[in-house]
Structure 1
């Protein structure tokens, strides 16, 4: 479409126009950008037409193309017009699901960590055990599998076993008596303590005998140290490889950036907001791949692009889509975990939020209990109750969550084994998790609530002006109904703010006393909190009214005499009283 025309009323109406969206070239701010949009559309049409041509055939000479790949160079040779100068397309096409994998072992986006070669050499050394430890989603199993491939045929047939698979448990139990070749045991921390000790003894025997049989252990952070605790003499007989999310951040998130870069190369993309992806991934390679996959889908990319495409923005939108999908996946099981301590208790909800704050995905209950014992003795007591209630781990009605969370009653640790769950928990507040579980958390009283009539909005503005320096310096958190945004549930927002009110400033006037909502909803809750000692009430008389006759309110000392309402005073005199209200927060 070169110029504005009513082409939609012609026989062309069912075709896809170029440039993008059918905006005429003459109306683009940049003629070059318009032409580029046309070229991109032509290339996509060639891409689609030639792909259909290849799929209609039995395949190229010598057999079909490899799954997920098509040779674009062949497409261009068959369908391109001779003599047309065009950018060189990629040699191969990869499907999006083959590049950014949301589960399974990545191939195209695998990156070698700094100690990859050292791990290969350890695999080739007889008589030594190997431990690969780190948080979920950081790539432990992928690292081991890639290192085994590179170590060569000298290791023989490698057997991969997982403690979370019931079918693998008999083979793990028989290892000390029937161990042949190289065996890797994943999710080592899930094994019963007595079986872990047997495997430790077996590992010592292998080292003493310099056996050609080899035992590899994959587990959570601290697995190597726990083996040493079980037997101090094992320290010199194992090589421990640690993958740390904190370490990834300190070296500039190099591995996550490499994953993104390899995906960009395979799909012929450029992610403009790489830094935001890295921050959201928080060291998890799997999370980075999830976000890149969502971003590609949002931009309609399903395979390698014929020429480079920039993907800008939308990282927050990608996170939102991921969170929506994860909510459907995890909320039912999280509700089951949150229900373990009864309908009125919040311990399990706070355990989930604390787990989400731990980079390594391991929550050590003994350490947490000591950290909160002084400042939050109720939470500490709740942790003790949780430990007593689950001497054998999560069983019965709570067993479903074990697919994603593991509780080790002996070590008193909650372990987040599903990186997608940890990503989800890091972005959920305790209040949101409580809502999922159908619970209501007690709210701390830490805000200053202003109750006023909208007809007296000018006085709210004057009060806000005097309190603004204190708000800016973080000395108080002022709440009034201007904080309610479009789309918020306004009554819920006000109710929650009332529950958090430590101090309530009442801008009292005839309008205030006449308001049914203020007197039936706000004032009763504030008075109840004041009676319980949880809220201090400061009336400010802004207009002549029946404050002195109101038996509910006149018991509270007003900031100014009722016979000197602020609207009857000169501006400087009224401001003097408002300054005194502000000074209250400097010297509470």
Structure 2
């Protein structure tokens, strides 16, 4: 007799329902080869870590090496201390892509040094596990390592492989699932999800151990999805809400929510945000809003989010490494989440919260205001930050889109220079149509009067003496925080 929790396993390595991927033997041989660096990569949920654990247990039955991961603070000093003098040990570094660049580069160099030695006695063996392309990324760090290392990609389970897993578990429990093809379809080749779905179906049917007589189990896919999501809710909802609300909550600050919802609609949990933005024109502005800076800072400052989400700001690769989390967001009630987050509905999608219009004489002031707003998790269009994006384009057309359509609010730093200069005047012609909708925040530096901007419009009046450093505190208190307060109230 077997117990359900030992058959369909959602924690640790399955004893009875582990299914070897097609390249298991090749991986085993390379893991056994003394000193040869090994990279195991693949998308989340393909069983990379489980497969490596199983192979290592076969190679080292009495003393299986411990898996090290940067997710565990206690493991970081061990990872950082691995060098040529570490002895004849096997070091398995999981979540390699989460290491800082310096540590990844050092381990790549170490792998090269070890691989080049004819005699590897006394030298450590490196096994690196990570998401897709970690092998090619490693090769780019040390190009001539390619021929001296082994790269194994663990692919998602085929329908035949997932069927084998279900059959093994069903046989041990003496049960038969109706519509096993629905389990295969829902799991999408994900080993962990297959285990979880089968386990949930059994629990819903009152099966907790091997049945004395063959039992057929009928199940409702929609109901099982709901139960799986309910089971995962307490684990993931706080961090998902924290991610969606961003670093500073505002009822209109929802680009993180839109991004995550778009990711949940993808086939894979690894997404190139440039590609996603181009594919989703309806929320392109929101994705562009966060992908260059804000998303990276969010994960740096929110530990709960960093544990669940990975982002490489250089490659724009966003990943959900936990298959349970990906399944959770794929089947989440997103409108319910939006209400729990406290967002207001707005059919418009903005690329920036604020666009700053200013004359060149006030560039240091505009630059400082933009920097401080970004510190408050407010996205800002400031021309110098985006010049490369518009190379080859016509500024008049770009400015018309930026100041009319792509920015939620306009911050106009107004003085005589702004009135006399050509480009600020063009910008002003673009955004004054938004004054009646209260979407322009004038910051007056003098008493210059502007057509289209009423003199009695509630505005910010700031006496700027041209020295930002000397007036930093006043600029933050009298200008930046008032702009942020306006956005908070939208």
Deviation at 1:151, TM superposition (A): 3.2
Q: Summarize the Cα distance change of 1:301–1:389 in structure 2 as closer, same or farther, 3 Å threshold.
A: same
Contact 2:278–2:284 under 8 Å retained in 1: no
Deviation at 1:391, TM superposition (A): 4.7
Match of 1:121 among 29, 32, 35: 29
Pairing of 1:73-472 with structure 2 (within 5 A): 93-151=1-59, 158-180=65-87, 181-210=89-118, 211-212=120-121, 213-245=124-156, 248=157, 251=158, 253-340=159-246, 342-372=250-280, 376-384=283-291, 387-391=292-296, 394-396=299-301, 398-428=302-332, 430-443=334-347
Pairing of 1:568-587 with structure 2 (within 5 A): none
Larger Cα-atom Rg: 1
Deviation at 1:370, TM superposition (A): 4.4
Which shifted more, 326-335 or 288-297?
326-335
Contact 2:36–2:148 under 8 Å retained in 1: yes
Deviation at 1:127, TM superposition (A): 3.6
Deviation at 1:376, TM superposition (A): 4.9
Spell out, residue by residue over 1:254-304, the C-alpha distance to the aligned partner (whole angstroms, 9 max, x if none): 222221111111111111221111111122111111111111111111111
CA distance in 1, matches of 2:329, 2:283: 22
SS in 1 for 2:126: strand
The answer for unaligned runs of 5 or more in structure 2 is: 350-436, 438-490
CA distance in 2, matches of 1:168, 1:178: 18
Q: Summarize the Cα distance change of 1:380–1:351 in structure 2 as closer, same or farther, 3 Å threshold.
A: closer
CA distance in 2, matches of 1:357, 1:243: 23
CA distance in 1, matches of 2:101, 2:136: 15
CA distance in 2, matches of 1:233, 1:329: 43
State the structure with bigger RCO (CA 8 A, min sep 6), 1 or 2.
2
CA distance in 1, matches of 2:168, 2:59: 23
Contact 1:408–1:414 under 8 Å retained in 2: yes
Deviation at 1:350, TM superposition (A): 1.9
Spell out, residue by residue over 1:487-524, the C-alpha distance to the aligned partner (whole angstroms, 9 max, x if none): xxxxxxxxxxxxxxxxxxxxxxxxxxxxxxxxxxxxxx
CA distance in 2, matches of 1:392, 1:255: 40
The answer for unaligned runs of 5 or more in structure 1 is: 1-92, 446-531, 533-588
CA distance in 1, matches of 2:284, 2:208: 53
SS in 1 for 2:26: helix
Deviation at 1:193, TM superposition (A): 1.0
Pairing of 1:515-526 with structure 2 (within 5 A): none
Deviation at 1:134, TM superposition (A): 1.6
Which shifted more, 270-279 or 254-263?
254-263
SS in 2 for 1:440: coil
Q: Summarize the Cα distance change of 1:441–1:284 in structure 2 as closer, same or farther, 3 Å threshold.
A: farther
CA distance in 1, matches of 2:168, 2:268: 25
Q: TM-score, normalised by structure 2?
A: 0.65
Contact 1:281–1:288 under 8 Å retained in 2: yes
Contact 1:128–1:237 under 8 Å retained in 2: yes
CA distance in 2, matches of 1:237, 1:359: 33
Contact 1:392–1:409 under 8 Å retained in 2: no
Deviation at 1:443, TM superposition (A): 4.1
Q: Summarize the Cα distance change of 1:438–1:293 in structure 2 as closer, same or farther, 3 Å threshold.
A: same
CA distance in 2, matches of 1:326, 1:146: 26
Deviation at 1:129, TM superposition (A): 1.2
2:393 corresponds to which residue?
Answer: none
Contact 2:80–2:103 under 8 Å retained in 1: yes
SS in 1 for 2:246: helix
Deviation at 1:240, TM superposition (A): 1.3
SS in 2 for 1:394: helix
Q: Summarize the Cα distance change of 1:207–1:393 in structure 2 as closer, same or farther, 3 Å threshold.
A: farther
Deviation at 1:136, TM superposition (A): 2.2
SS in 2 for 1:117: helix
CA distance in 1, matches of 2:265, 2:102: 31
Contact 2:44–2:269 under 8 Å retained in 1: yes
Q: TM-score, normalised by structure 1?
A: 0.55
Deviation at 1:160, TM superposition (A): 2.1
Contact 1:291–1:315 under 8 Å retained in 2: no
2:446 corresponds to which residue?
Answer: none
Contact 1:393–1:409 under 8 Å retained in 2: no
SS in 1 for 2:293: helix
Contact 2:258–2:283 under 8 Å retained in 1: no
Spell out, residue by residue over 1:32-78, the C-alpha distance to the aligned partner (whole angstroms, 9 max, x if none): xxxxxxxxxxxxxxxxxxxxxxxxxxxxxxxxxxxxxxxxxxxxxxx
Contact 2:46–2:154 under 8 Å retained in 1: yes
Q: Summarize the Cα distance change of 1:190–1:270 in structure 2 as closer, same or farther, 3 Å threshold.
A: same
Q: Please report the RMSD computed on the Cα atoms of aligned residues, expressed in angstroms.
A: 2.5
Deviation at 1:415, TM superposition (A): 1.8
SS in 2 for 1:304: coil
Q: Summarize the Cα distance change of 1:351–1:160 in structure 2 as closer, same or farther, 3 Å threshold.
A: same
